[in-house]
Structure 1
Amino acid sequence: MTNRKAATEPNDLGRYFIERANAGDVDGLVALYEPNAVLAFPPGNLATGHEEIREVYERFVAAAPVLSPGRQHPALVTGDLALTASTLTNGDVTVEVARRQPDGAWLWVADQPALAP
């Protein structure tokens, strides 16, 4: 199990993703998403909700990837919504929409983690 602190800023989500994925923490990865979030991964597939997102990440961590943080771009925040993006070390770009929760924490609602440049 990894650090399960809540994301107090939208870009915390990306940092927590790298940490939890490298630790093989499937539950921690799923906890970064709202219950009805959508995840477009692997490319060409769409997972909706915690159950389907969990299935994706169970397969993902089983492959034991070692992720390196890329370049995280400043979050674009308007009210309770934020657009987050990172350029990965392989040049791919991730794009996510996060929403501020009633307790002030941020969770992803839509995640496109493998957008080729």
Structure 2
Amino acid sequence: MTIQELAPAVFEKIPVKVCILNNGFLGMVRQWQELFYQKRYSATRLLGNPDFVGVAQAYGAKGVRVTKPEEVRPALEEAFADRNVWVLDFRIDQEENVFPMVPAGEAIDRMIGGMA
């Protein structure tokens, strides 16, 4: 989903919940550069990211920024109990990785960090 799709979701009253794992980087690109290119990072830092909660509100959706682990469950419960469009901006550690992942050119049974 892209930001501009919030407008039709709000207009059509589609209760989609958008969860952003926000580490301030192009997360998967940074992860690939960490794991396969010896942390030689290039063009992965996102400077000037918008206020995603503010963007959600500008479109007429609801938004919440989650910065602490103890805020996760209440934020999810509130969003999923509501019939409106929500954007949940989960701030995570800059070095956080996402698994499982399949390395380039590999089969699914060669995934890293998961069960095949």
TM-score w.r.t. length of structure 1: 0.25
Structure with bigger helix share is 2
Q: Give the structure-2-normalised TM-score.
A: 0.25
Higher alpha-carbon Rg: 2
Greater fraction of residues in strand: 1
